[in-house]
Amino acid sequence: MQNYFIKEKLDLFWWFVNERQSIWNKRFIEKLPYPWTSDKVLKEEHFTNVYRELDPGTLYVVKSILELNKPKPDKIFNNMIYRLIGREETFDFIGFQDLVSFNPKIFQSKLKDFRSSGKNVFTGAYLVSGYSNMGSKDKIENITKLFIKIHNNFDLFYNNIENSKTSEQVYTVIKSQDGFGNFLAYQVLVDLLYPLKCYQNKPLLPYSHNDWAIAGPGARKGIKLIIDGAVKISDLDVMKWLRSNQKNEFKRLDLKFPYLIKNKEKMEISLANIQNCLCEFYKYVKIKEGFGRGRRKFKTPFLVP
């Protein structure tokens, strides 16, 4: 299958993944001073981590929602609220929503109070669709109506998740909800597959990040960069190949990839993280080759010389 790839771009992909993780390692593990790379794009532009497990939003979901001593349905409901809002500060303000006592009037009132304080309620990192037909010109009112609808049918929704046989089926169930398109549905699914201390290091759902993944728009563009256009192969097969051959590829290119260490073991890059890396790789190439711009600049930390 390696013949399906454009070698120059495949090599660049692995270099990018290695360099991005090396930056994190130098910054947080070796605690070296800025800059942690000589690459101009990586030095100036914002990229998400190779390991989604390191992102602040993911760390927040795990600690503040998934690890709580709450019923599984409540955790899923709150995970969906958080991912649609996308801001930790907002979720902290409204608090964890118990299904049995969910009060949409209080939910809406708190969101409006937060907005009145002059703060952004929702993330600007991604677009969310599917709630604009709820009948109001106010986004908060539409989001509230959306979660009233989700709440009213949550027993059936949760049963459909419980009766799923694969992570892909769970994704389809989540995507059936208004407001949760391909991107958000997959983000929620990935959240629900992290090992949790409260379940003896098992995830909330009985699946793995390596079972299945869907390539988002950015990842699909990343795949097109590295695959020969004449080749007919699925996005999932490309991602699975990259996932399965990562060690051999790093070795082939003589890259000393600084694997994340968890429980004294090296964590290979999961299928879910390969998907994200392809998206970030496309962003890197478009900036470097001048056919696009990044949305966020990297904030240079204030370091003591």
| Whether the predicted pLDDT of 125 surpasses 70 | no
| Whether the predicted pLDDT of 121 surpasses 50 | yes
What percentage of the chain carries pLDDT values higher than 70?
93
Using one digit for the tens of pLDDT, what is the confidence trace for 32-70?
A: 999 999 999 999 999 999 999 999 999 999 999 999 999
pTM (two decimals): 0.92
What pLDDT does 2 receive? 79
| Whether the predicted pLDDT of 132 surpasses 80 | no
Q: Minimal CA–CA distance to 278: which of 228, 215, 208?
A: 215
Q: Give per-residue burial for 37-65: e unless 16+ CB within 10 Å, then b.
A: eebebbeebebbbbbbbeeebbebbbeeb
Q: What is the mean pLDDT of residues 240-266?
A: 96
What pLDDT does 296 receive? 73
| Whether the predicted pLDDT of 301 surpasses 60 | no
Using one digit for the tens of pLDDT, what is the confidence trace for 163-174?
A: 999 999 999 999
- Domains in the chain, please, with CATH? 2-53+213-288 (no CATH), 68-195 (1.10.340)
What three-state secondary structure class fits 235? helix
Mean confidence (pLDDT) of the chain: 93
Structure tokens at 154: 């949550």
pLDDT band for position 291 (cuts 50, 70, 90) = confident
Structure tokens at 262: 């968890």
| Whether the predicted pLDDT of 304 surpasses 80 | no
Burial of 166 (0-12, 13-18, 19+ CB in 10 A): exposed
What pLDDT does 293 receive? 74
